[in-house]
């Protein structure tokens, strides 16, 4: 079975641009979460979606937004990019019966 | 969110058991103890979780103190592939609105050949 897939794997943007990151969950998983991991730190929670509804939001500015589609895939959008947005963005899907999260390999964003 | 405390780093010899400690003195009665690990250049990977009783699976064992204020992840026979950052995380009951994991800085485990 395919795991959580994310695209693109790497991308470079400049300050002020916007970016869209995509995530496909494991088949059958209805919950998708997004995390930001800055170099040397643990991942930080950004959003969680379940059945297309936002169920949780971390301490991130309104420049960060997300949505979940009917097929449970998800997009994370970041507007007006700052240098500090450079990070690994991780998507995780979960089987809410077990509480276990399955992470993708991430999208590494570099903002110049 | 209740906080966990882990050593920044640990070393262990290959093929030896490894005991990774975690303190969580402010744990609530409904918090599960989850462990994830992150190998270099990969996303975190679920290892094990438990509530009160010790737990075993194919990857590891989780020993939980009787008062639940601490726990220990046990790798029975470390291999080079176990070199990773190990995160101890407290998580409430999964109820479709509570999938959030609060990661700390974890313990970086180095395996010595």
Give the β-pairing of B55-56 and B45-50: unpaired
User: A21 and A90 in contact (C-beta within 8 Å)?
Assistant: no
pLDDT tens for residues B22-70? 999 999 888 899 999 999 889 999 999 999 999 999 999 999 999 999 9
Question: Distance of CA A22 to CAs A68, B28, B74, Å?
Answer: 10, 35, 35
Residue B46 carries which DSSP code?
E
Average pLDDT over residues A15-42: 95
Please name the residues between 28 and 47 in chain A that touch chain B, using a CB distance below 8 Å: 31, 33, 35, 41-45
| Nearest partner of B86 among B70, B104, B106, judged by Cα | B106
User: What span, in angstroms and rounded, lies between the C-alpha atoms of B49 and A29?
Assistant: 19
Would you place residue B91 in the very low, low, confident or very high pLDDT band (cuts 50, 70, 90)? confident
| Nearest partner of B88 among B74, B100, B76, B105, judged by Cα | B105
Of B32, B43, B94, nearest to A106 by CB-CB distance is: B43
Average pLDDT over residues A10-16: 98
Question: Distance of CA A74 to CAs A84, B83, B113, Å?
Answer: 23, 31, 41
pLDDT tens for residues A39-96? 989 999 999 999 899 988 999 999 999 999 999 999 999 999 999 999 999 999 987 6
| pLDDT the model gives residue B9 | 97
B46 inside 8 A of chain A by CB: yes
Question: What is the torsion angle, in degrees rounded to the nearest 10, for the CA atoms of residue A9, residue A32, residue A36 and residue A56?
Answer: 160
């Amino acid at each position: 079975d395919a795991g959580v897939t994310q695209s693109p794997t790497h991308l470079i943007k400049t300050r002020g641009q916007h970016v869209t990151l995509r995530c496909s969950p494991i088949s059958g998983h209805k919950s998708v979460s997004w995390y930001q991991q800055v170099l040397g730190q643990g991942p930080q929670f950004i959003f969680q979606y379940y059945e297309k509804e936002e169920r949780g939001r971390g301490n991130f500015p309104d420049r960060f937004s997300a949505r979940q589609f009917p097929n449970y895939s998800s997009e994370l959008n970041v507007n007006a990019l700052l240098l500090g947005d450079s990070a690994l963005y991780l998507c995780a899907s979960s089987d809410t019966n077990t509480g276990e999260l399955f992470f993708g390999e991430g999208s590494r964003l570099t903002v110049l | 969110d209740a906080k966990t405390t882990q050593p920044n780093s640990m070393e262990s010899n290959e093929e030896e058991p490894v005991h990774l400690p975690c303190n969580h003195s402010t744990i609530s009665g409904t918090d599960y103890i989850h462990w994830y690990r992150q190998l270099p250049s990969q996303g975190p990977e679920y290892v094990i979780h438990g509530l009160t009783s010790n737990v075993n699976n194919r990857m590891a064992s989780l020993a939980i103190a009787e008062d639940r204020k601490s726990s220990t992840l046990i790798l029975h026979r470390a291999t080079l592939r176990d070199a990773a950052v190990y995160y101890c995380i407290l998580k409430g009951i999964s109820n479709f609105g509570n999938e959030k994991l609060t990661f700390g800085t974890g313990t970086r485990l180095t395996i010595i050949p």
